[in-house]
Amino acid sequence: MSVEDGLKRSLPENQGVCSGTISQLLDHFAEKELELHSIMLLRYGQVVAEGWWEPYRAERPHMLFSLSKSFTSTAIGFAVDEGLISVEDKVCHFFPEEQPARIGPNLERMQIHHLLSMATGHEEDPTERVIQASDGDWVRAFLSLDVPREPGTHFVYNTAATYMLAAILHKVTGQSLVDYLTPRLFNPLGIVDATWETCPKGINTGGFGLSIKTADIAKFGQLYLQKGAWRGVQLISPEWIDAATKKQISNGEDPLSDWNQGYGYQFWRCQHGAYRADGAFGQFCIVVPKEELVVAITAGLNDMQGVLNGVWEILLPALSPAALPENKAGYAGLQRKLSELVLPPLPSDKRSGAAGLSGHYLFADNDLQLEAATLTLEADACHVQLELPFGQPRITCGYGSYLQSKLSHRGQDVTAFSCASWKNDTTLEFLSRIVETPFAYKVTALFTAGQVELAIQVNCGFGPREFVLHGKLETAED
């Protein structure tokens, strides 16, 4: 557990939080089979609980997906405060060379405000069409799209709109989001080694791609809770904080859905007067102003509402505005529970005859683009060398324990913790956790004479999460 993040720590009861309630929240996540990777709870600016499910750790960054959007919004807020731009500025104004020959009336009306509030006038999310632009020019692709509705009248979640905010900032400042935010946000908050993916033109992707640590997410939420002030310095104006986190546009009518409470400037409104930054598969920065509560979570799951419901139903009702009586037993139990958080490896089961199944297996065309895999099955570990269009990662798996491997994922160096277990003499299970991301891959390999069938499950994802691949052992005749 890291305490070198600049945050203060406190006993939960001293900040009006019952240790037993936090334990109940952790039990709730376990009972609902919600795969959390980390959690930090801050009350009145103090960390009252923090934990990482092994093999995820405090010092490791985690891919944030759309939680990145709220950092992009913050960069725009700094630029507005500095007088570089206004939210009323028209989008086309910044890109005279990328504009289409004919600019439609709705595109011409589109302002930075509409990008921020996901109210660009598009009928559906155009992101896939933008990022698949054959020439790699995402700005030109965005501006070429039809805009059938008047901007400001219709909410459509639109990651490409966030990218346009990043492109505008890049155009105005000549800097990437990371470089622009470093002296204004990252350095004051003590956020180090932040990385952000880029588009083919070298512009940070804006709507996704930021990787930072859990404590960094918590500090970001605390900055917003404190209306932009940090250690006595006003980093960003309270007016921007208010504008970013208030309801700018309606996005649904279900009172029990935290995706229908309104949308701000790249922040979601929530039930209970809260707001949040969030990213796919359970990346959360939840701020509850009336309770002076910040919850930072990283995860690898699909039921994001389930996580929020746990916070609303278990944690919020138990909060006290004043300190609670000392609870040594409850606190000791909570600390024990936090120290024992783990996503366990597969059970240890070795097979002495397994080496005979080692070899180089070739795969037919498949959705995962796996061309071949070399399996080296040893007594104490197994090694898997994959052949993919973007590289040849080598993964080492322990029996009954995780072993560490270095890989490349989406152009970034990441770490895999992997294990394996024999179910019987011809069936081997693999589990690999890419710990800087939400993703974990479980593979069941069924060996028959000269062949292998791989049944692959991914813990979370936008598309299919189960795949079956068939491989053939390469022989001398091949």
- Which runs of E-coded beta strand occur in 111-159? none
If you average pLDDT over residues 315-324, what whole number do you get? 98
Q: Note whether residue 240 is domain-resident.
A: yes
**Domain assignment of residue 270, yes or no:** yes
The whole-number average pLDDT for the span 318-336 is 97
Torsion of CA 365, 371, 375, 381, to 10 degrees: -100
**CATH number of the domain encompassing residue 448:** 2.40.128.20
Q: What whole-number distance in Å separates Cα of residue 138 and Cα of residue 167?
A: 9
- pLDDT over 90 for what percent of the chain? 91
Contacts of 201 (CB under 8 A, 6+ apart): 136, 137, 138, 139
Kindly state whether residue 414 falls inside one of the protein's structural domains.
yes
Q: Within this chain, do residues 247 and 289 fall inside the same structural domain, yes or no?
A: yes
Virtual torsion, Cα 438, 444, 450, 451, nearest 10 deg: -70
464 and 364 together in one domain: yes
Higher pLDDT, 27 or 426: 27
Query: What is the per-residue pLDDT for 351?
Result: 66
pLDDT bracket for residue 425 (50, 70, 90): confident
**Weakest mean pLDDT among 158-162, 235-239, 345-349, 427-431:** 345-349
Are 322 and 359 within one domain?
Answer: no
Q: Is residue 92 part of a domain?
A: yes
Are residues 176 and 53 both part of a single domain? yes
- 198 and 299 assigned to the same domain: yes
Pick the closest to residue 304 from 328, 327, 285 (CA basis). 285
Give pLDDT, residue 476. 54
Q: What is the mean pLDDT of the chain?
A: 95
Cα dist from 176 to 167, 193, 196, whole Å:
9, 15, 9
Q: Is residue 166 part of a domain?
A: yes
pLDDT at 286: 99
Rounded average pLDDT over 302-322: 98
Both 269 and 399 in a single domain? no
Residues 278, 359 share a domain: no
Confidence of residue 409 (pLDDT cuts 50, 70, 90): low
Is residue 207 within 8 A of residue 66, CB to CB? The reply is yes
* Residue 284 covered by a domain: yes
Q: How confident is the model over 379-396, as a mean pLDDT?
A: 90
Residue 169 confidence (pLDDT): 98
Q: How far apart are CA 106 and CA 82, in angstroms?
A: 28
- Is residue 344 in some structural domain? no
Residue 266 is predicted with a pLDDT of 98
d(CA 139, CA 199): 10
At position 132, the amino acid (one-letter code) is: Q
Examine the pLDDT at 355 and tell me if it is beyond 70.
no
Tell whether 156 and 43 lie within a shared domain. Answer: yes
Is residue 3 situated within a structural domain? Answer: no
The backbone torsions φ and ψ at residue 47, rounded to the nearest 5 degrees and listed phi first, read -75, 120
Average pLDDT over residues 208-236: 98
Domain boundary among 310, 339, 368: 339
Same-domain pairing of 335 and 358: no
How confident is the model at residue 2, as a pLDDT?
44
Residue 139 has pLDDT above 50, yes or no: yes
- Quick one: pLDDT band at residue 477, thresholds 50, 70, 90? low
Q: pLDDT per residue over 458-472, tens digit each?
A: 999 999 999 999 999
The verdict on whether omega for the bond into residue 55 sits within 30 degrees of 0, i.e. cis, is yes
Residue ending a domain, among 280, 306, 339, is 339
Q: Which residue has the tokens 């921020």?
A: 116
Supply the CATH number for residue 76's domain: 3.40.710.10
Give residue for tokens 């946000």.
185
Give the confidence band of 236 by pLDDT, cuts at 50, 70, 90. Answer: very high
Same domain membership, residue 367 and residue 316: no
The pLDDT-based confidence of 437 (bands split at 50, 70, 90) is very high
Give pLDDT, residue 414: 86
Number of domains, the chain: 2
For residues 321 and 372, membership in a common domain is answered with no
Structural contact between residues 43 and 17, judged by C-beta atoms closer than 8 angstroms: yes
**If 0-12 CB within 10 Å is exposed, 13-18 middle and 19+ buried, where does residue 417 land?**
buried
- 168 and 193 share one domain: yes
Question: Distance between CA atoms of 342 and 56, rounded to whole angstroms?
Answer: 8
Q: What is the mean pLDDT of residues 320-343?
A: 98
- pLDDT band (50, 70, 90) for residue 1: very low
Range of the domain at 448: 354-473
Determine phi and psi for 321, rounding to 5 degrees.
Answer: -70, -20
The predicted-structure confidence for 255-290, as pLDDT tens digits, reads as follows 999 999 999 999 999 999 999 999 999 999 999 999
Quote the CA–CA distance of 262 and 136 in Å, as a whole number: 33
CB atoms within 10 A of CB 477: 4
